[in-house]
Chains A and B, each alone.
Chain A
Amino acid sequence: METLRYELHASRPAGGTRKIAIVGVVASGNLEVLLERSGAADRCVIEIATAARGFADLWAAVTADFVERRAAGGLIITINDGGARPDTVALRLAQGVRVIEESEA
């Protein structure tokens, strides 16, 4: 397994008050994304565990675009990857932000 970690400047803080959110499933071509609130509103930390080695620059590109496009500040995002494609990764990250911004109950 390869582990990667990105500490990124976030353009906007994540909204809502939910403490955690989880989206996705670890299966072939899919991934699990756990979002937790922590840290400065202008930082976003993304950690990835993946069995598909050698794709660090792809992950770097996808995560960089993500923090620019979505409100991801103040989040620690941990990913278990089952070999998902970049567009699936981007989708799950966006879905995760949408869930954590949902109002509780």
Chain B
Amino acid sequence: MRDWNSKRRGREERIEAGGRFSTGKVVKADSLTEFLEAVIRPGDRVCLEGDNQKQADVIAKALAAADPTQLHDLHMVQSGVVLPEHLDVFESGIARRLDFSYSGPQSARIARMLFGGQIELGAVHTYLELFARYFIDLTPNVALIAAVSADREGNLYTGPNTEDTPTVVEATTFGNGLVVAQVGEIVDKVPRVDIPADQVHFVVDAKKPFYVEPLFTRDPAAITETQILTAMMAIKGLYEPYGIRRLNHGIGFNTAAIELLLPTYAEKLGLKGKVCTHWALNPHPTLIPAIEAGWVEQVHCFGSEVGMEDYLRARPDIFFTGPDGSLRSNRAFCQTAGLYACDMFIGSTLQIDLAGHSSTVTANRIAGFGGAPNMGSDARGRRHPSEPWLRAGREADPDTAGPLRRGRKLVVQIGETFGDGNTPMFVERLSALDLAEKLDLDLAPVMVYSDDVSHIVTEEGIANLLLCRDKDEREQAIRGVAGYTEIGRGRDKAMVERLRERKVIQRPEDLGIDPLDADRSLLAAHSIKDLMRASGGLYRPPSRFRNW
């Protein structure tokens, strides 16, 4: 007779084992490592939060201190590999296998450990993809999550940085796994209930807030004239003609420049109310001037941003907030929104090849995918029409009859032809291919595939790949905006001119833009302090951004 209750019984056994180190649901302060050794079993699938921004850092440290003879061969499934402890557990043998999405801060070390065979790689995912697998074949046995506070029953408040937690808890707790939450404090009453107590089995009082970094703050003082030029071109050459209302900006200085040009340059073009009204976006401080000037109807956030909490509280018409007044973010839903409910994604990259594949991978760093491939992809499952989507679809496929022709999401790669360290953005061969060989991967880690990319914007011009009829046109359109890079200088000049006549390539002059007019006086804010002022003092920039 088959036992249909093994998971639930297993959870009860873990709860009993953990009970030796806790009082009710609260784990005893100095017994965290032994507690983890008791409730986690060798070979378990463990989700350690691990989000893009917040980290369950106290639990991570305690896990890394565990005895590898007690805890070993764990399969870590987590969005973000961010803290050193996330990799320490592989070095000591506590963990063996990894499925993840993003590893920005650990990109060099994780590459070394993968090459060195210290980590058995399941796969690198996008956020939404990993979340999806939590419900199919990567369901965690144990989830170690981060929350702001808990009450004595175990109701959790996750606050502005709610991020992945509801998704992780849903899969784990209803998949009959164990949920352990690190909280900053235990209170009589939580401001709002983000995770109900019957979904949470243990609570760790870390007595301090969880680790969180400001990842989405860009100092306007660092925005260059060239970035302003690309921003002007994007607004005039894409946002205006396509009428982009619903969009997502990947983080970067080019998109920060666009955000700061809305109340000024875009205002002069008469675009207020016509573009940039609804956003899937983290709370970028650089969007404050546009919000204050009345450009924005609504923003849904993947996570929060350090320093923005009071501003978000004061703008509940714009942001999603709970009855307590603070932001409620949700990465899974915001990713879904970016995928299906936005008409454009625009973001930067490190390398683009002659087909238009784009990648952020270099030979010695593996940063993963995060959410970009979902934001930056054409969702073929989409069915509802919109003007920009239909227009892009017409450009891509003029021959198919209208009623059978799906639209296309605009997926735009924007950047200067030469990036940091004067390395060219345009290359013959992506470093991702070298990495795939080195690690024997089935797929090279490509961020955005060529058949998803609709436009490329550089300081030399905009290439509309939707209008390219074949591989050669595509290649020359790319060379035609690749500036003085080797790829750019290798262009077929005559063909590029013909493409320009067809508006497959548009230069700044074709859009009525003089590069000499692209100067910093166009920015709605010139400094972090300006952003703070624009917010009426509500935005409190973290210390590292201050110059006062």
Contact = CB atoms under 8 A, between A and B. Distances in A.
Direct contact of A and B (CB under 8 A): yes
Interface of A: 52, 58, 61-62, 83, 85-88, 90-91, 94-95, 98
B498 interface: no
Contacts of B460: 87
A61 B484 contact: yes
B516 A86 contact: no
Given A61-B489, A85-B226, A90-B515, 10 more contacts: A58-B484, A85-B416, A85-B418, A87-B417, A87-B460, A87-B483, A88-B225, A88-B226, A91-B225, A91-B515
Contact of B515 (A62, A86, A94): A94
A74 B79 CA distance: 61
Contacts, number: 35
Contacts of B226: 85, 87-88, 91
Given A58-B484, A61-B489, A87 B516 contact: no
B418 A95 contact: no
Interface string B474-500: 000000000110000100000000000
B422 interface: yes
Q: Which 8 pairs between the two chains have the least Cβ-Cβ distance? A: A86-B484, A85-B418, A87-B459, A87-B226, A61-B484, A85-B422, A94-B516, A58-B484
Contacts of B225: 88, 91
B417 to A, nearest CB: 6
Central interface residue in A58, A85, A87, by most chain B CB within 10 Å = A87
Interface residues of B, number: 14
Contact of A98 (B224, B484, B489, B516): B516
Nearest to A95: B516
A25 to B, nearest CB: 13
A86 B417 CA distance: 9
B422 A87 contact: no
A87 B516 CA distance: 12
A35 to B, nearest CB: 15
A91 B416 contact: no
15 contacts: A61-B489, A85-B226, A85-B416, A85-B422, A86-B417, A86-B418, A86-B483, A87-B416, A87-B418, A88-B224, A88-B225, A91-B225, A91-B226, A94-B516, A95-B516
A45 B483 CA distance: 23
B410 to A, nearest CB: 24
Interface string B401-425: 0000000000000001110001000
A62 B417 CA distance: 14
Contacts of A62: 484
Nearest to A59: B484
A52 B225 CA distance: 22
Nearest to B417: A87
Nearest to A85: B418
A62 B459 CA distance: 14
Contacts of B416: 85, 87
Contacts of A91: 225-226, 515-516
A33 to B, nearest CB: 14
Most buried by A among B417, B460, B483: B483
Contact of B422 (A83, A95, A98): A83
Most-contacted residue by chain B among A58, A62, A86, A98 (CB, 10 A): A86
A91 B514 CA distance: 11
Contacts of B459: 87
A9 B251 CA distance: 44
A62 B484 CA distance: 8
